[in-house]
Structure 1
Amino acid sequence: MSSGATTTDVLIEHRREIEDLKERIRNRRFQVYALYGTPIALLAELLAWAGLKIFIWLESDTPTAINGIFGGATAILVIAFIAQAIAEFGEPTSWKDGKTPVRELVLELSLVEERHILEARRRTPPSVDRQASYRERLPAEVVRLRKESKHYRRINLLMQWLLFVSSAAISAVTAWYDPPQPAKGVLICLGFTVTVITAAAGYFRPRERAFNLQQTADNIEEHATALELGISPYNATEEAQNLELFATTVERLRAEQRMREQQLDQPQQGQQQVI
C-alpha cells in the first residue's frame, strides 16, 4: 500500500513540476515579447504621429485631441518600457525568471518530462490497475464532451436566431420603405449578416459537432453505467476482463469521435472522398 502511495506521490510531483514549468515558460515568453515589443510599438506610434503631421496637417497645427492621444500613448509606452527594463535588468531582477533564456526553460521542461516518462515506466502498475484508473478518469471526459456539445449548440442557436431575425428584417425593411433608398444601408448590413451566418454555419457546422459530442458522451456514460452495474456486455466473472473490454470500447468510441471531427473539418468534396 505504501509503495503504491509512494508511486502516486512521485508521479503527481512530476506532473506538478511539469505544469509549473509550462506556466513559467508562458510567463517568460510574455515578458520577453513585452520587453522587446514595447519599443517597437513606441517607434510605430511615433512614426504614425509624424506621418499624420506630414501628410495631413503639414500646413497647419495638429489638432489638440490628436496630440493628446499620441502624447498620452507615448508616455504610457515609455513608462512601460522603463518599468520592464528595470524588472528585467535590475539587481536583483523583479521577475521570477528574469535574465533566463526561454530555451533554457524549454530544455528543463524536456528533461523533466523525460524523467517523468522513465519514472512512470519504471513504476508502471499492472494493467488491471491502469484500466481501473482509466475508468475513474472517464467522468471528467464525459463532462468535457457535454460542455463542448453545449458550446456548439449555443453557437448554432445564436446563428439560427440571427439568421431568422436578419431574414425577417430584410422583408420588413423592404416593405416599409418604398422605394427602399432610405434603408439601403440597413438592407446591405442585413444581407451581409445573412450571407456570413449562412456561410459560417455551412462551414463550421456547429449543430453536427454538438450532436456528435453529445452522442459520444451518452455512449461513454452508457458503457460506464453498464460496467458499474455489471450488466451486459460487462457481466463476465473476472473484473479484469470487464475492464479490458470497457477500455477497448471507450477508446473505439473516442477514435470514432475524432474521425467525425476530422471529417467535419474537411471541405465537402474531401468528405465525400473519405466516405
Structure 2
Amino acid sequence: MASAASLLAIDQRIIELESTIADARLTKRWALAWISLGNILLIGAVIAGNVLIDFSKPGSGRFLLNAMGAIATLISIGLSVSLWREARSWEREQIVQLLQAQAERRSEQVATEPDSSASPPFQDYYRSIPDLRDEYRKGAEKYRGRHNLFQLTVIVGSILTSVSTTAAAEQGIWSWIAVGLSALVSVSAGIIAYFKFRERSLNLQQTADSIDLEVQAYRLRIRRYKDLPPEEASSVFAEEVERIREEQRKKELQLEQPPEAAPQQRSQPI
C-alpha cells in the first residue's frame, strides 16, 4: 500500500511538472511574440509619429519623440529577450525534473503491479499504460488551448468589428480595419468548425480518464476484476484498455469525415 501511495504521489508530481512546463512554454511564446511583433509595432509607432505629427507647432520636438522612442524600444527589447531566456531556462529545468519523475514512476510500477507473476509481455504492456494515458491528456490540453485561442479571436474580433464599423462612418481608415477584423473572425470560425478542436479535446480527455479509472480498478481489484484469477484479470484489463483505445480511434475517424457524411454513416446498419 505504501508503494501504491508513493506511485500516486509521483503521478501527482508529474502532473504538476507538466503543468509548469506548459506555463513556461506559454511564457516563452509570449516573450517571442513580444520580441518579434511587439518591438516592431513599437518601432512602427515611432516612425508613424515622425510622419503624422506636425513638428512645426510650438512645443513639439522630433528629437524628444525619437529619443523617448529609442529608449522605450531598447528597454522593450532587453526585457523581452531576458524574459524569453529565463522562460527557456525554467522550461529546461522542469523537463529534467519531469524525466526524473517518470523514471521513478517506472521503477515504482514494478512494486505496485497487482500480479508480479504475470507474463513479461503483459508487464511491459501494463507499464506503458501511464505514458499512454498522459499522451491522451497532453493531446486534450493541446486541442483545448487551440480551441480557446480561436474562440477568443472570434469573440474579441466580433466586438472590435462592430466598433470599427461604427467608427468607419467618420474616418475611412476604420472601414479597412473593419474588413480585416471581419476576415480574421471568419477565418477563425472556419478553423474551429473544420478542425473541431473542442470535440477532439473532449474525446481525448474522456479516453484518458477511462484508462485511469480502469488502471485504478485493476490495482484495487474492484468492479469487473473482483474475485477474478490473476491471469484472467490481466486478460480482461488488456482487452478493456484496447477497447477504450479502439473507441478513441473511431471517434477520431468520425471527426475527420465531412459533416454531410456523418448522418449517412449513422443511418447505415451495423
Q: TM-score by structure 1 length?
A: 0.52
* Candidates 152, 174, 177, aligned match of 1:161: 152
CA distance in 1, matches of 2:228, 2:178: 69
Q: Which amino acid aligns with 2:218?
A: L
Q: Which residue of 1 aligns with 2:51?
A: none
For the Cα contact (< 8 Å) 1:170–1:191, is it kept in 2? yes
Q: CA RMSD of the aligned region, Å?
A: 1.6
For the Cα contact (< 8 Å) 1:174–1:180, is it kept in 2? no
For the Cα contact (< 8 Å) 1:132–1:243, is it kept in 2? no
Q: Which residue of 2 aligns with 1:187?
A: 178
Q: Which residue of 2 aligns with 1:216?
A: 207
Q: Which residue of 2 aligns with 1:260?
A: 251
Which whole-Å deviations, capped at 9, do the CAs of 1:202-227 have from their partners, x for residues lacking one?
A: 01000000000000000000000000
CA distance in 2, matches of 1:236, 1:270: 45
Q: Which has the larger radius of gyration?
A: 1
Which whole-Å deviations, capped at 9, do the CAs of 1:127-154 have from their partners, x for residues lacking one?
A: 8332232111100000000000000000
1:131 aligns with 2:109: no
Q: Which residue of 2 aligns with 1:74?
A: none
Q: Which residue of 1 aligns with 2:55?
A: none
For the Cα contact (< 8 Å) 2:140–2:202, is it kept in 1? yes
1:247 aligns with 2:238: yes
Q: How does 1:1-275 map to 2 (within 5 A)?
A: 128-179=119-170, 181-275=172-266
Q: Which amino acid aligns with 1:209?
A: R
Which whole-Å deviations, capped at 9, do the CAs of 1:235-264 have from their partners, x for residues lacking one?
A: 234111111001001101100100000110
Cα drift, residue 179 of structure 1: 4.5
Q: Which amino acid aligns with 1:147?
A: K
For the Cα contact (< 8 Å) 2:168–2:175, is it kept in 1? no
For the Cα contact (< 8 Å) 2:211–2:241, is it kept in 1? yes
CA distance in 2, matches of 1:248, 1:201: 35
CA distance in 2, matches of 1:132, 1:216: 21
Over the matched positions of the two proteins, sequence identity in percent amounts to: 31
Q: Which amino acid aligns with 1:262?
A: L
CA distance in 2, matches of 1:140, 1:207: 23
Unaligned runs of 5+ in 1: 1-125
CA distance in 2, matches of 1:192, 1:263: 29
SS at match of 2:224: coil
SS at match of 1:268: coil
**Closer, same or farther: CA 127–267 of 1 in aligned 2, 3 Å:** farther
SS at match of 1:233: helix
CA distance in 2, matches of 1:267, 1:213: 20
CA distance in 2, matches of 1:236, 1:206: 41
